Amino acid sequence: MSGAAREPPVAATVAAADPRAVRLIKTAGVASVAVALTLIGLKLWAWIATDSVSLLSSLADSLLDLIASSITWFAVRVAHEPADREHRFGHGKSEAIAGLVQAVIVTGSALYVAFTALVRLMAPAEISEPETGVAVMGASLVLTFGLVAFQHYVVRRTGSVAIGADAVHYRADLFTALAVLAAIFLNTRLGWYAADPLLGLVIVVLILASVRTITLKAIDILLDRELPDEVREAIQEIAAAHPAVRGVHDIRTRSSGTAQFIQLHLELDGELALSAAHRICDEVEGSVRQRFPTAEVIIHADPYGIVEARDPF
């Protein structure tokens, strides 16, 4: 601690993420790109064979998935680069930026699908070679389900925003595949030609719903939204549990990528020696980081009873 404020050494400015978590995140990024490339090839072949507008919408979505997944793969690589002279808090927010870029891309996909569906709705047509479409969309369901399950596992283990955003629109792809299968069935078996473009519009709604989720999460990180109340309460309890701490105030938290940043003020006996105050701050920091191992913790020591301006919330 220097003076009344204690700051971590330069090497610990951003807490190092678990290497296993970093590997998981990077693997998820590569898997996402690989699946997108596979689905594009399959759906392009199926669309040429069937001329289905709902399948075309699914192909367009997969093309944009490839762009979004490539951005995610790049973002997670940047996000886990160590802090440097120009980025002393690390590069974690690159994940949130990737999430916003994904939201823009997916919105473009939705608008394209909506336009195509409306054009076909005015001139419905029978789907050709439905067997090809069914086979490809069945394969798409299996591949996408496997990817989404893996992505959810990675998000649970790491909290990665970029992988979470990727999982949201791939989850929407599951419903897209089901909608395409339904459109093929209704079009070819029941003669409901309008079902194809109508279900294409349903896909648009699902895509836009995923955009909202991605955007809100990314904005929360970029605007330094506080961590959940239960996290702040846990920090308060941990700090106040130290026998030498007489009060805790001005707790501030935020997240960036997979790291959390925690700041707080400890109220200590004003007669304590600087070395004693330093030791107490170290002990409280250790307790907080035991509960939140990827967090950077900055503690400011205040003499107990001093009157000063504090956060009103």
> Which tens digits make up the pLDDT trace of 19-45?
777 788 888 888 888 988 998 898 888
Domain presence at residue 310: no
Residues 127 and 246 placed together within one structural domain of the fold: no
Closest CA to 95 of 262, 252, 219, 253: 219
pLDDT per residue as tens digits for the range 85-101: 777 777 778 878 877 88
Domain membership of residue 235 as a residue range: 226-303
Q: From edge to edge, which strands make up the β-sheet containing 247-256?
A: 5-6, 295-303, 259-268, 247-256
Domain boundary residue, one of 169, 202, 222: 222
Residues 138 and 175 placed together within one structural domain of the fold: yes
The pLDDT score that the predictor gives to residue 18 is 65
Residues 141 and 191 placed together within one structural domain of the fold: yes
Residues 270 and 154 placed together within one structural domain of the fold: no
Domain presence at residue 211: yes
Residues 48 and 167 placed together within one structural domain of the fold: yes
Residue type, 203: I
Domain boundary residue, one of 222, 255, 276: 222
- The span from the CA of 210 to the CA of 206, in Å, is 6
pLDDT per residue as tens digits for the range 3-17: 344 333 333 333 345
Confidence class for position 105, pLDDT limits 50, 70, 90 = confident
pLDDT at residue 83 tops 80: no
Residues 182 and 246 placed together within one structural domain of the fold: no
pLDDT per residue as tens digits for the range 38-68: 988 988 888 888 877 767 777 877 777 787 7
Residues 208 and 265 placed together within one structural domain of the fold: no
**Pair 284, 120: CB distance under 8 Å:** no
The number of domains in the chain is: 2
Burial of 226 from C-beta contacts in 10 A (0-12 / 13-18 / 19+): middle
